[in-house]
Structure 1
Amino acid sequence: MFHRRSARGGGWAGHSGGRGRCGAAGAMPAAVVEYKGWKEGYGCGYCGATRGKVSAGMWAHSMTVQDYQDLIDRGWRRSGKYVYKPIMNQTCCPQYTIRCQALHFQASKSHKKVLKKMLKFISRGDVSKVANEEEPMDSHIEDVATCDFPYKSESQVSQSELTPLAVDHTERVENEDKDSGETKEEGNVQKVESDSGQICTDKDTPVPAEPCHSAKAVHAPPKPGKGADLSKPLCRKAKDIRKERKLQKLLQNQMGTVEGSQLQGDQAFLLQNSKSKPNQPKNIEDFILVPLPDDAQHKLEVRLVPVSFEDPQFKSSFNQSATLFAKYQMSVHKDTPSDCGENEFTRFLCDSPLEAEHAPDGPECGYGSFHQQYWLDGKIIAVGVIDILPYCVSSVYLYYDPDFSFLSLGVYSALREIAFTRQLHEKAPDLCFYYMGFYIHSCPKMRYKGQYRPSDLLCPETYVWTPIEQCLPLLEHSKYSRFNQDGKAVDEGRLKELGRVRVLHKRTVMPYSVYKKRRKGPSDEASVQQYASLVGQTCSERMLLFRS
Structure 2
Amino acid sequence: SGMWAHSMTVQDYQDLIDRGWRRSGKYVYKPIMNQTCCPQYTIRCQALRFQTSKSHKKVLKKMLKFISKGDVSKVVSEEEPMDSHIEDVVPSDFAYKSESQVSQTELTPLNEDHAEGVENDDKDKVETKEEVNVKKVESGSLQIPVDKDAAGPGEPSHSSKAVHAPPKPGKGADLSKPPCRKAKDIRKERKLQKLLQNQMGTLEGSPLQAGQQALLSQNSKTPTNQPKSIEDFIFVSLPDDAPHKLEVRLVPVSFEDPQFKSSFNQSATLFAKYQMAIHKDTPSECGENEFTRFLCDSPLEAENPPNGPECGYGSFHQQYWLDGKIIAVGVIDILPYCVSSVYLYYDPDYSFLSLGVYSALREIAFTRKLHEKAPDLCFYYMGFYIHSCPKMRYKGQYRPSDLLCPETYVWTPIEQCLPLLELSKYSRFNQDTKAVDEGRVKELGRVRVLHKRTIMPYSVYKKRRKGPSDEASVQQYASLVGQTCSERMLLFRS
Question: Under a length normalisation based on structure 1, what TM-score does the superposition of the two structures give?
Answer: 0.66
Q: Structure 1, residues 369-409: CA drift from partner, whole Å, max 9, x if none?
A: 00000000111000000000000000000000001000000
CA contact (8 A) 1:503 1:510 kept: yes
Aligned partner of 1:483: which letter? F
Q: Structure 1, residues 64-84: CA drift from partner, whole Å, max 9, x if none?
A: 000000000000000000000
CA contact (8 A) 1:75 1:458 kept: yes
Distance 1:100 1:211, change over 3 A: farther
Q: 1:243 aligns with which of 182, 192, 198?
A: 182
Distance 1:385 1:213, change over 3 A: same
Q: Structure 1, residues 212-257: CA drift from partner, whole Å, max 9, x if none?
A: 514xxxxxxxxxxxxxxxxxx979xxxx98935x79xx9xxxxxxx
Q: 2:369 aligns with which of 401, 413, 423?
A: 423
Note if 1:356 corresponds to 2:302. yes
Specify the alignment match of 2:393 in structure 1. Answer: 447
Specify the alignment match of 1:104 in structure 2. Answer: 49
- Summarize the alignment of residues 189-338 of structure 1 with structure 2, pairs less than 5 Å apart: 210-214=167-171, 243=182, 268-269=190-191, 279-338=225-284
Specify the alignment match of 2:73 in structure 1. Answer: 128
Structure 2, unmatched stretches of 5+, are: 79-138, 143-164, 196-221
CA contact (8 A) 2:249 2:321 kept: yes
Separation in 2 of the partners of 1:443 and 1:287?
Answer: 31
Separation in 2 of the partners of 1:452 and 1:126?
Answer: 29
Separation in 2 of the partners of 1:241 and 1:352?
Answer: 58
Separation in 2 of the partners of 1:443 and 1:509?
Answer: 43
Q: Structure 1, residues 326-357: CA drift from partner, whole Å, max 9, x if none?
A: 00001111111101000000000000000000
Specify the alignment match of 1:145 in structure 2. Answer: none
Separation in 2 of the partners of 1:234 and 1:399?
Answer: 49
Superposition deviation, residue 269 in structure 1: 2.6
CA contact (8 A) 1:354 1:368 kept: yes
Specify the alignment match of 1:72 in structure 2. Answer: 17
Separation in 2 of the partners of 1:441 and 1:243?
Answer: 40
- SS of the residue aligned with 2:285? helix
Aligned partner of 2:307: which letter? D
- SS of the residue aligned with 2:284? helix
Specify the alignment match of 2:129 in structure 1. Answer: none
Structure 1, unmatched stretches of 5+, are: 1-55, 134-203, 215-232, 251-264
Aligned partner of 1:269: which letter? K
| Identity within the alignment, % | 86
Specify the alignment match of 1:89 in structure 2. Answer: 34
CA contact (8 A) 2:441 2:483 kept: yes
Specify the alignment match of 2:131 in structure 1. Answer: none
CA contact (8 A) 1:132 1:406 kept: no
Q: Structure 1, residues 443-483: CA drift from partner, whole Å, max 9, x if none?
A: 11111111111111100000001111111111111111111
CA contact (8 A) 1:354 1:369 kept: yes
Separation in 1 of the partners of 2:473 and 2:365?
Answer: 42
Superposition deviation, residue 358 in structure 1: 1.1
Superposition deviation, residue 126 in structure 1: 2.5
* RMSD over aligned Cα atoms: 2.5
Question: Under a length normalisation based on structure 2, what TM-score does the superposition of the two structures give?
Answer: 0.73
Note if 1:526 corresponds to 2:463. no
Separation in 1 of the partners of 2:278 and 2:140?
Answer: 42
Distance 1:546 1:267, change over 3 A: same
Separation in 1 of the partners of 2:331 and 2:350?
Answer: 18
- SS of the residue aligned with 2:249? strand
Separation in 1 of the partners of 2:77 and 2:274?
Answer: 19
Distance 1:267 1:293, change over 3 A: farther
Q: Rg larger in 1 or in 2?
A: 2
Note if 1:509 corresponds to 2:455. yes
Distance 1:242 1:124, change over 3 A: farther
Distance 1:113 1:81, change over 3 A: same
Specify the alignment match of 2:335 in structure 1. Answer: 389
- Summarize the alignment of residues 397-436 of structure 1 with structure 2, pairs less than 5 Å apart: 397-436=343-382
Note if 1:342 corresponds to 2:299. no
Separation in 1 of the partners of 2:140 and 2:15?
Answer: 59
- SS of the residue aligned with 2:264? helix
Q: Structure 1, residues 288-326: CA drift from partner, whole Å, max 9, x if none?
A: 111111211111000000000000000000000000000
Distance 1:209 1:241, change over 3 A: farther
Superposition deviation, residue 424 in structure 1: 0.3
Separation in 2 of the partners of 1:73 and 1:63?
Answer: 15
Aligned partner of 1:243: which letter? K
Specify the alignment match of 2:323 in structure 1. Answer: 377
Separation in 2 of the partners of 1:350 and 1:411?
Answer: 23
